[in-house]
Amino acid sequence: MNGISRREWLSRTAAGGAALALGMVELRQALAADAVQKGVARVNGEATIAGRPARRGMEVKPDDVVATGRDGEVVFVVGRDAFLARSNSRIELSSAGRSLISGLRIVTGALLSVFEPGGGRRIQTATASIGIRGTGIYVEAERQRTYACTCYGEAELVPVDDPKEAETVRTTHHDQPRFIYAKGMPLMIERAPVINHTDAELILLESLVGRMVPFNPKSYP
């Protein structure tokens, strides 16, 4: 993963917002027309839900497996939580009931998530266990480290190989990104740059579940 400075990232966010604007308008129009229900909101390239090719409007159950190929990306909603899975990802959802997610495991790849406030959920990777308290969070999973940016809200970051080094972060706007490492590194948790996700994507996800981001996008160039 290639890091960039916060200033550069904020500049790229503005550009990314412009690039996503058309797609967001289309999704808002579809929502207004009651054409997009819970489930898959957008698919690009190769993506599957529970082993079946993903398609717009397809239901995603809280115990399904979501997978994407090399050129794949899928945006989906389960209950009051919304997600964007990047390419080359495998996401295993865990059920807390008929329509609720209790947690998920990112086996490979990357996932941007926005969770309904209240009710604990947990994201698991090879090196991290992340407790969620109504949070926007971006996670990239590698074999030896996890990248986690708590975009806003609160998250408990627990290294799998050394739980006593856990850290709780509370943020309002991408304030405390972290790398969480496997055993053998001098630090189990280390500060990281902001990478590979944008405010426009967070706004899109929150809009799919009838919410707004808790920050003012106009305050960030």
- H/E segment holding residue 95: strand 90-95
Nearest CA among 151, 127, 160 for reference residue 214: 151
Specify the residue for token string 């495998």: 90
pLDDT in tens, the chain (221 residues): 445 455 554 444 544 444 454 445 445 544 443 433 589 999 999 999 999 999 999 999 999 999 999 999 999 999 889 999 999 999 999 987 666 788 999 999 999 999 998 778 999 999 999 999 889 999 999 999 999 999 999 999 999 999 999 999 999 999 999 999 999 999 999 999 999 999 999 999 999 999 999 998 887 76
Tokens, residue 71: 């050129």
**pTM for this structure?**
0.84
DSSP state of 30: H
Dihedral of CA 93/135/175/207: which sign?
Answer: positive
Task: Give the whole-angstrom CA distance, residue 189 versus residue 153.
Answer: 19
